[in-house]
Amino acid sequence: MQVKIASLFTVVDASGPEMSLAETVTLLNDMCLFAPGALIDPNIRWQEVDAHTVTASFTHCDHTIQATLVFNGQSELVDFTSDDRMAASRDGKSFVRRRWSTPVREHALYDSHRVVKRGDAAWHSSEGEFTYLELELDAIQYNVADIVS
């Protein structure tokens, strides 16, 4: 992961096992939010917690992460939480596991696929919750044959 200011000055330049672990969480989260049909992957193990909550254990390459998924009464995903995402330190030189969540505020139908329309991404710490992303999906395409670079 590289973060630059005005595409000129590098603020964060991170790679290695911590980033791979964090991206494994991101991959599972994206599957849950945007491609729920992919959740039949044999690398995901599911365990029911209660009528509206499950935990997922997902192995990708050498990394195994866990997440908790919460559903509403209409069986729609309303929250995804994991303690396996890595947050950068203030100076960007080190990483620490921190609770991360993506609460979903609205779902919509896109070409017969019901997925997230509006949601957030947030870090959780002893200081409280920090929402750093507000998402609103306008359109989504699957299996696009001609991708323009």
Q: Does 143 fall in a domain?
A: no
Least confident of 87-91, 94-98, 123-127: 87-91
Q: Does 147 fall in a domain?
A: no
What's the CA gap between 111 and 36, in Å, rounded?
14
Q: Does 141 fall in a domain?
A: no
Domain residues for 80? 2-136
Q: Does 142 fall in a domain?
A: no
Would the pTM of this model clear 0.75, i.e. be above it?
yes
Q: Does 88 fall in a domain?
A: yes
Grouping H, G, I as helix, E, B as strand and the rest as coil, residue 33 is helix
Pair 2, 15: CB distance under 8 Å? no
Instruction: Check whether 12 has a pLDDT greater than 70.
Output: no
Name the residue with higher pLDDT: 80 or 9.
Answer: 80
Domain tally, the chain: 1
Integer angstrom CA distances of residue 49 from 7, 10, 61, 96, 124: 45, 43, 26, 27, 22
